[in-house]
Structure 1
Amino acid sequence: MIVVTGAGAVAPNGLGVDAYWKAVVDGRSGLGRLSRFDVSRYPVTVGGEVSDFDLRAHVPSRLRPQTDRSTQFALAAAAWALEDAGIDPAELGAYDAGVITANGCGGFEFGQHELQKLWSEGPHRVSAYQSFAWFYAVNTGQISIRHGLRGHGSVVVTEQAGGLDALGAACRQLRGGTLRVALTGGVDAPLSPWGLTAQIPNGLLSEESDPDRCYLPFDRAASGYVPGEGGAFLVLEEASAARERGVRAPYGEIAGYAATFDPAPGSGRPPALARAIGNALFEAGLGPRDIGVVVADAQGTPELDALEAAAITEVFGPKGVPVAVPKATTGRLYSGGAPLDVLAALLMIREGVIPAAANVTDVPEEYDVDVVAGAGRTLPIRAALIVARGAGGFNSALVVRGSSM
C-alpha cells in the first residue's frame, strides 16, 4: 500500500496546503488580469498568477540566478512536502529517496530573458545557466541536488496528464523496491510573454476578460480555459516504511492508476478516457459505487467538456457520482494541475467536503453529470477518482482513498 505522507502546494489562490484548501472550500479564485507583463496586445488577458510568492523567503540565494520561476515554485513545494512528511533526507540511506516530476512547459521565462540578452547585448551576456534552466527535467535535478536525493530520478512529459503519470511512475518505483521514499508531483509557470504566445495557437484559451466568466468548466457559457501557474508535490511511501518512521495519519492511499492514449483523429474509434478510468478502478479493486467524488480534468471548452462528461457517464451512469472542479479557482496549471487535484481529493476525503465549482451555474442537462456547483456538499467519501488529459491524446486516471493506518 502506497500512502501520501507529505504535501506542498503553490497555487494562484494560496501558498501551502492549508491556504490552498481554504481558498478552494471558500470558492476564492486566484484568477485575474495578468499583471507581470503588458497583455494589452494579447487576445488572452486573464490567468492564474501566483502573486504572493516571496522568492527570498523560499529559495536560497545561490539558486535564484540559475532557476526559472517554475523551478523556484518546485523547490518551495518540494521542501514543504518533505517538511510536512517529517523526513530528513540525511537520515535516509544514500539511494533510498528519489524525485519523479512532471513538466509541460520547461523554463519559458528564463529562456526568454536569455534570448533577449542574446539579440540585444550579444552572446557574451547569455547566462551559462541557460544550458539547463529551460530544460523540462531541470526540476528533478535541482530538487535532487538541494536535498541530496540520489535515488531514482526521472521526468514525465505528458502535458496536463503528466502530474498523474508522475505519481503512477513513483508508485512503480516504490512497489519495485527501487525507492523507499518518492518525492513526486509537478509545477509549471507559463505566464510570460513567450510562454503565453506559445499557448495561444492551440485555440483552446479563453479570451473572456472578466475573471468571473473566463473559465467555466462544464458550464453552458464555457469559452475555453485559463492558464495558470503553480502545482504541488507529494511524498509517497510504502505504508510499512511510513509506520516504521512513526507516521500515524497520512493524507491517504494511492489505490490505483491507469493511462491510455486516444486514437488518431478520423480513425472512427472512440476516445480512451473511460477505459483509463475503468482500469484505474480495477487496479484499486473498487467499483464505480465505491467512488464518492470525481475530480474532473475540466478543459473548459464545450467539445472537450462533453467528451469528459460522456466518459464519466459511461462508467458511473447518468449523474451517478458528484463531480468536483477545484481547477475553477486556479485555471489549468499544466503539469501542476493534476497533483494539486490529487491533494484536493485527499482533503475532500479527510474533511468529508466537496467544494463547489467557482462561478459554474448552468451545466447543460445533456451532459448528464452531477457537477457540484452553487454550494459545496458535506458527505462521507471513501475514495475519489482524479482525471487528467494532456494535449495530443494523453488520458490518465488515479484513485485515492482514506488510509486505515
Structure 2
Amino acid sequence: MDSLITAAARALAAGDPLGALKRVALRDDAPALALRGIAMAQLGDLARAKALLKSAARAFRPREAVARARCVVAEAEIALVSRDLTWPAKALDVARATLEAHGDRINAAHALNLEARRLLLIGRLDEAERTLAGFDPTSLPPASRAAHELVVAGLAVRRLRTRAARAALDRAEQAARAADIPALTAEVENAALVMNAPAARLIMRGSERLLLLEDVEALLASGTLVVDAFRFVVRQADTVISLATRPVLFSLARALGEAWPGDVSRSILLARAFRARHADESHRARLRVEVGRLREKLRPLADISATGGGFTLSSRRAPEIVVLAPPVEERHAAVLAFLADGESWSSSALAIALGASPRTVQRALEQLASTGKVQSFGRGRARRWLTPPALGFPTTLLLPGPLPSD
C-alpha cells in the first residue's frame, strides 16, 4: 500500500473527507476509487459515492477479498443512510463473514452494527437484539464504539428501558469525543434529544399532560390500567389485551378511558366508533353488540356497565384508568414519524418500515404534500420524501481501516 493511500485512509478515519480527496482525487486505481467513494459519502453525495464504490469493487482483483468486502459494507451503509431498504441484506452477511475470516474484526463489527441498525429501523427489535447478543465493543476504536452504543440506545428506547438508553448514550458520547469526529459527535447529541422530548400524552380525568420516556416507563410499571393508543392495547402491568385488529373496539375503549370515572353517552360512542352522524336503530344495535364484545375482551382487567346516559368503564384492580396517546395525533402520523429523522425516504422504503402497501403509503405522502407537511425531489424510482426543512446530520461512514488489502 502506497503512502498516499495510507494517508487518505487515515484522513477518512479521522472524519476529514476533504483531506482524503486531496490525496486520491486524480487516481483511478481500485484503492483510490474506494477511498473516494467513502469521502463522497461523508460529504453527502451518496449517488456518486455508490457509483465509485461499485467501480472499486469491480476493480479489485479476485484475491483481494477483504477489499471487496469492505466496499460492500460501505455500500450497505450508503443504502441505510439513503433509506434504500431493498438493498440485498445477504450481501452484507457475506461481506461480514469474509471480514471475520480474514481477521478484520473492526470492519466486521461495523457490518454487524449496520445489520442491527437496519433491523431497528424497520421495527424488528428481537432480531436486532439477537444480532448484537454477546458482542463486546470494548476493544473497538472510539468511532466504532460510538456507532455500536447508538444502536444499543435505540433498542433500549424502543423497549422503554430509559436507564439503559441513557447509559448507552453516555457511552456513545464519550466514544464520540475520543474519536474527535465532529459529525459523529453531532449525531450522538441529536440522538440524545429523544430522552428530553415529549414522548406521549397522558389523558386522565378530562385533562392532558405531556410525558417524557421515563414517565411513560414509570406509568406502565405502576399498575395503572392504561388504554395504550400507541400499540392499540389495554394493559395493566404485565397483563396486555391487544385490540390492534379490532379498531372499533379500541375506539370504544379509548372513549371510555378518556371519560373515566364518568360515563360516555351512546351518541358520542356511535360517533367515535362508527363515525355515525345520524344514528338509527341499526347503529344502536351494532353499538350494543360491539360493547358486549369489548366487555368480554376486557373481562380480565375491567368491567363495562350501562348507565342512564351511556356506558362507563371500571377497573377490577387498578386504582385509576388513563389513556396514553401520541404527543400529536393526526392522519398519517406514522409516516410523519419516520420522516422526522431528517433523512430522505422513498415510498417503497416507507412501505417496508410501516408494513403497509406501497400504494397506501403513496396516497398518504400525496395528501401530506398537498398540505405542505412533506416535500419530494427526484422522479420515478429516484423520488425521495422528507419533511421541510431537512434538519439533522447525515450519518457518517465509520469504516476506520484502509479499504485496500493489507
TM-score, normalized by length of structure 2? 0.30
Structure number having the greater strand percentage? 1
Structure number having the greater helix percentage? 2
